[in-house]
């Protein structure tokens, strides 16, 4: 779920960019029963054969008109071939769809998708119209309402039919995947991916519970010498606290529910109160933050003192969301907590 997740959608994504300088498929059955008989001896056999083996065929995809989150009537091509879905690449990859361009910010990309998207050119997160035009998309999916304000939607829609998922859909990766699957005639693939992920999460939860027990974990992000702690309902927090059933740390439960963001800023002094048994640290600073990680406050945190810290690269999956990202996050948790 986004580098800040998808909760705040357009505005949160833009804020993050600055911080980093940052269902329709159709089927039909054709029945070729032949009831005409040239004579009484041949007719029963022919009729039985045709009745016993009806031909089942999937109806070809057809152009359809749908309504997006902003109320736009959008005509979706029958078989989109050049899809642009900036910051939705995890979902496209999961559905085996290669986008015409991939999201980027300050020459950075979603590195955990680099193998799947190694030959896909980049496009800036703010979708410059000239760049969008150059990729000649035939269908465009946009994540949030906030990212197409001030006339941008109309301009994008002139280039290619543009569908806005909206914040309510985008904050739930399963709903997002199902919606995109429907738009692209890949509902079965979306449903299968979710089922496979849920089974993987259930298996992992059993192993983690047996090995780690009822201990708590915290997920921290260090960027520009500032710490952020993830909410329980978004990004990697949704995976660990929701899908894997791990216990929330005190600093998250203390944040008023109505003021939580996907990633919540935590002062170094407040961090000193963290009582989590294990810390997952997404380190985007490396050299610049060495003085913080070597300082007395960080060193005094119980989990740090005990050596229970797993440091993760910012190029990994923990800042994002989707079946692909979340599956990789589960792999990391199993590696760290299951002994």
Q: What pLDDT band is residue 23 in, cutting at 50, 70 and 90? A: very low
Statement to judge: residues 221 and 330 lie in one domain: yes
Domain C-terminal end among 123, 153, 185? 185
Instruction: Give me the mean pLDDT over the 246-258 stretch.
Output: 88
pLDDT band at residue 60 under the 50/70/90 scheme: confident
pLDDT given for residue 253 in this prediction: 86
151 and 227 both lie in a single domain: no
Of 137, 157, 185, the residue that ends a domain is: 185
User: Are 242 and 318 in the same domain?
Assistant: yes
Range(s) of the domain holding residue 284: 204-337
Is residue 321 in a domain? yes
Residues 117 and 252 in one domain: no
228 with 292, same domain? yes
Q: Is residue 29 part of a domain?
A: no
Please say whether the beta carbons of 90 and 324 come within 8 A: yes
280 or 313: which leads in pLDDT: 280
| Residue 231 pLDDT greater than 50, yes or no | yes
Same domain, 170 and 143: yes
Q: Would residue 41 count as lying in a domain?
A: no
Closest Cα partner for 215 from 298, 302, 318, 329? 302
Residue at 232 is within a domain: yes
Q: What share of the chain is helix, strand, coil (3-state, %, to 5)?
A: 40, 20, 40
195 in a structural domain: no
240 in the same domain as 151: no
- 301, pLDDT greater than 90: yes
Residue 267 pLDDT more than 70?
A: yes
Both 142 and 250 in one domain: the answer is no
> Which of 155, 185, 215 finishes a domain?
185
Burial 236-250 (b: 16+ CB within 10 A, else e): bbbbbbebbebebbe
Residue 229 has pLDDT above 60, yes or no: yes
Q: Are residues 328 and 260 in the same domain?
A: yes
Asked if residue 101 and residue 218 are part of one domain, the reply reads: no
Residues 13 and 130 in one domain: yes
**If you average pLDDT over residues 51-65, what whole number do you get?**
67
| pLDDT at res. 261 | 84
53 domain-assigned: no
* 39 part of a folded domain: no
**Residue 170 sits in the same domain as residue 286:** no
Mean of per-residue pLDDT scores for the chain: 85
Mean pLDDT, rounded, for 191-201: 98
Please indicate, yes or no, if residue 249 is contained in any of the structural domains: yes
**What pLDDT does 256 receive?**
81
Q: What is the share, in percent, of the chain residues with pLDDT greater than 70?
A: 82
Work out the pLDDT band at 278, boundaries 50, 70, 90.
very high
How many independent structural domains does the chain possess? 2
| CATH code where residue 253 lies | 3.40.50.1980
């Amino acid at each position: 779920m986004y580098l800040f997740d998808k909760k705040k959608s357009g505005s949160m994504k833009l804020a993050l960019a600055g911080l980093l300088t940052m269902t329709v498929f159709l089927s039909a059955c054709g029945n070729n029963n032949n009831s005409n008989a040239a004579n009484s001896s041949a007719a029963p056999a022919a009729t039985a054969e045709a009745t016993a083996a009806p031909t089942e065929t999937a109806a070809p995809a057809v152009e359809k008109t749908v309504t997006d989150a902003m109320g736009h009537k959008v005509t979706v091509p029958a078989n989109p071939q050049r899809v642009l879905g900036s910051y939705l690449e995890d979902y496209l990859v999961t559905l085996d769809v290669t986008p015409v361009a991939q999201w980027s910010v300050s020459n950075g990309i979603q590195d955990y998708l680099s193998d799947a998207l190694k030959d896909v050119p980049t496009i800036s997160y703010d979708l410059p119209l000239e760049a969008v035009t150059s990729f000649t998309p035939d269908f465009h999916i946009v994540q949030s309402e906030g990212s197409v304000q001030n006339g941008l939607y109309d301009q994008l829609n002139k280039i290619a039919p543009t569908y806005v998922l909206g914040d309510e859909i985008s904050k739930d990766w399963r709903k997002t995947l199902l919606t995109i699957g429907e738009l692209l005639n890949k509902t079965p693939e979306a449903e299968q991916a979710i089922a496979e992920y849920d089974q993987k999460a259930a298996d992992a939860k059993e192993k983690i519970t047996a090995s780690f027990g009822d201990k708590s974990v915290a997920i921290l992000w260090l960027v520009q010498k500032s710490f952020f702690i993830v909410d329980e309902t978004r990004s990697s927090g949704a995976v660990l606290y929701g899908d894997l059933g791990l216990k929330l740390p005190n600093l998250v439960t203390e944040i008023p529910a109505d003021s939580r963001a996907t990633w919540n800023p935590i002062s170094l002094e407040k961090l000193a109160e963290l009582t989590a048994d294990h810390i997952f640290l997404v380190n985007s600073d490396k050299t610049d933050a060495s003085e913080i990680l070597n300082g007395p406050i960080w060193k005094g945190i119980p989990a740090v003192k005990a050596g229970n810290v797993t440091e993760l690269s910012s190029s990994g999956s923990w800042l994002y969301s989707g079946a692909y990202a979340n599956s990789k996050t589960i792999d990391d948790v199993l590696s760290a907590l299951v002994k």
